[in-house]
Amino acid sequence: MKKFLLPIAIFSLLMSCSNKQSQPDYSSIAWIAELDYQEAEVFPVITTGRIPAPKIPVTVENLTRNCILDLGTYDFVLHERDYDLQQFEPSRLVNRQISTREMMLEEGLLSRVTFLGQERQDIFTYLMKKCEPAACFSGLVGWQFFKDQRITFDLKNNLVGIQTPRESLAGGQVFYTSENPAQKNNMLKFDGFFYNEPVTLSFSTSLRHTQISPEILARLNIRHDGTFTQVDSIQAGQVFFHHVTGQINNNLVLLEPETRRPIDIIIGLNELKHWLLTVDFSNGIFYLKEN
């Protein structure tokens, strides 16, 4: 019997290692020094799974699950399937569009939530009960937690940097949020061009495909099959995303129904993974650098 124990132990060790992403040597990552990040301000993210989105461990009531760090939403959302919360007291049931998905949610407060090495108290939370299309994630950590900070996504090396800016970076492009401060979605928006047509763009770090509104395609007489379309390029500031496979999304116009400038295109992970993306919330500027 003993002769079988060693192979089993080796196999178990290999399996445990294979489920972990290896982390690079921080000293070899140029942007960490260039953007003046300290090592304590750089965190590994998990990009394996059905959605190759940056995920971080989020602990609530001693339950830890990996939730998506999502630039495409302002909100904090937990899936009730993965978080069986005993101390969550919902105040009301609502239906909302979050990250282009129609969700049935319970609103309420959580006394303590821990992620990225910090315990946060009295967090307004949405507990997701239903979602269409179905959600294969445990939760979304929106940008409300970083609105006075700078955040850098390096999806090539599975890293994210978060800091309080010590000085402004040169260049970059201005972004803005909803004209209505009470607008719940409050997505990041910026100006761009699509076949020389001015458009309103946004980012998502939870959606695999870039999302395109059928309204902008109709204005430009671009044919599509109702599901996907191939486009030559999308321009964001001085950056061009070339040869984009866009997913047709009828829900973009519903994300901010009260706004005068609905979002035309959301840049997704298939494009962002090739770039180093830094969003400086404190100064309202973002930066893209080929990675």
- Report pLDDT for 21: 56
pLDDT category at 267 given cuts 50, 70, 90 is: very high
In this predicted structure, the answer to whether residue 59 has a pLDDT above a threshold of 50 is yes
Query: Taking Cα atoms as reference points, which of 38, 139, 113, 95 lies closest to residue 257?
Result: 95
Q: Over the chain, what is the mean pLDDT?
A: 87
Average pLDDT of span 85-113: 92
For the chain, percent of residues with pLDDT exceeding 70 = 88
Q: What is the pLDDT of residues 141-187, one digit of tens each?
A: 999 999 889 999 999 999 999 999 877 788 889 888 764 444 555 78
pLDDT category at 20 given cuts 50, 70, 90 is: low
In this predicted structure, the answer to whether residue 24 has a pLDDT above a threshold of 90 is no
As a dihedral over the C-alpha atoms of residue 217, residue 221, residue 227, residue 233, rounded to 10 degrees, the angle is -60
Question: Count of alpha carbons within 13 Å of 164, Cβ hemisphere only?
Answer: 1
Residue 146 token pair: 């970083």
Taking the alpha carbons at both ends of the chain, their separation in whole angstroms is 52
- Report pLDDT for 5: 45
- Distant-in-sequence, close-in-space partners of 203: CB < 8 Å, separation ≥ 6: 71, 72, 188, 266, 267, 272, 277, 279, 286
Q: How much is the pTM?
A: 0.87
Residue 227 token pair: 């599901």
In this predicted structure, the answer to whether residue 270 has a pLDDT above a threshold of 70 is yes
- Report pLDDT for 165: 85
Average pLDDT of span 75-94: 93
Asked if 156 and 202 touch (Cβ cutoff 8 Å), the reply is no
Residue scoring higher pLDDT (114 or 15): 114
Average pLDDT of span 124-146: 93
Residue scoring higher pLDDT (174 or 114): 114
Domains defined along the chain, listed by start: 24-163 (2.40.70.10), 173-290 (2.40.70.10)
Q: What is the pLDDT of residues 201-247, one digit of tens each?
A: 999 999 999 999 999 999 999 988 889 999 999 999 889 999 999 99
- Report pLDDT for 23: 64
- Report pLDDT for 18: 44
- Report pLDDT for 16: 44
Query: Taking Cα atoms as reference points, which of 235, 203, 236, 230 lies closest to residue 217?
Result: 230
- Report pLDDT for 176: 83
In this predicted structure, the answer to whether residue 56 has a pLDDT above a threshold of 50 is yes
pLDDT category at 124 given cuts 50, 70, 90 is: very high
